[in-house]
Amino acid sequence: MRLDLTVLAITATVASLVGPTGIVAAASAQSCPDVEVLFARGTHEPPGVGPTGQAFVDALRGRIGDQTLAVYPVNYPAIDLWATGADGVRDAGARVLTLANACPDTDMVLGGYSQGAAVMGFVTSENVPDGVDPTTVPKPLDPDIAEHVAAVALFGLPNVRAMNFLGEPPVVIGPQYAGKTIQLCAPEDPVCSDGLNFAMHTPATYNGPMTEQAAEYVAARLVEAD
């Protein structure tokens, strides 16, 4: 009986990938991206990066040439109960650590809109905010982790007035990140400015010129990081 050579080749290939447990092993580890954007969406936006995050990612993708770009949507509730923002800080921080260890040459970009901007701001913080029980929140990142973060882009970051109103501590950007952070606030947006026009605090206000501005800034930082 003549055996089909194609069948033999396929059988041999499968046999080489199947381990002792019978599970097919990956041929190679997943390649690391050149750039990864970790973005936290705003309050009540559906899971994902949200409209502002998507506009920012799209704008950045068009500015980094042939570099590979991955996107990580921070996993947290993004609801009115701002105390759950700690879930976002925890998830984003864990992703930063995982990526720094598994893909040390990947340039990370941290970003967020509104509540998500506060989440990412806290990720960069050097210390646990005053008055907060350190056992209830994630431990601040080690200073050397900042070397893996090329830039931070925050849209509509709640200011001290807004955080006081919510009964939450103010966001303080860590010194290792301050020099590579861009903060964008729409004129008269009461969440991040002294204005009182609540209609300005919407993704429609931020998507466009401001996401383009942030992408331009981040792209320049990525060039410096290389």
Residues with a known catalytic role: 114, 189, 201
Are 115 and 43 within 8 A, CB to CB? yes
Find the helix or strand (DSSP H, E) in which 154 lies: strand 149-155
Question: What phi-psi label fits residue 65: left (phi over 0), alpha (psi between -120 and 50 degrees) or beta?
Answer: left
Determine how many CB atoms are found less than 10 A away from the CB of residue 35.
22
With H, G, I as helix, E, B as strand and everything else as coil, classify residue 73.
strand
- CA-based angle 171:177:168, to the nearest 5? 10
What's the chain's Rg over C-alpha atoms? 21
Strand partners, 18: 24
Are 107 and 34 within 8 A, CB to CB? yes
Length of the chain: 226
Are 214 and 56 within 8 A, CB to CB? yes
Query: Whose CA is closest to 49, among 98, 108, 116?
Result: 116
CA distances for 152 relative to 9, 99, 115, 125, angstroms? 49, 16, 15, 12
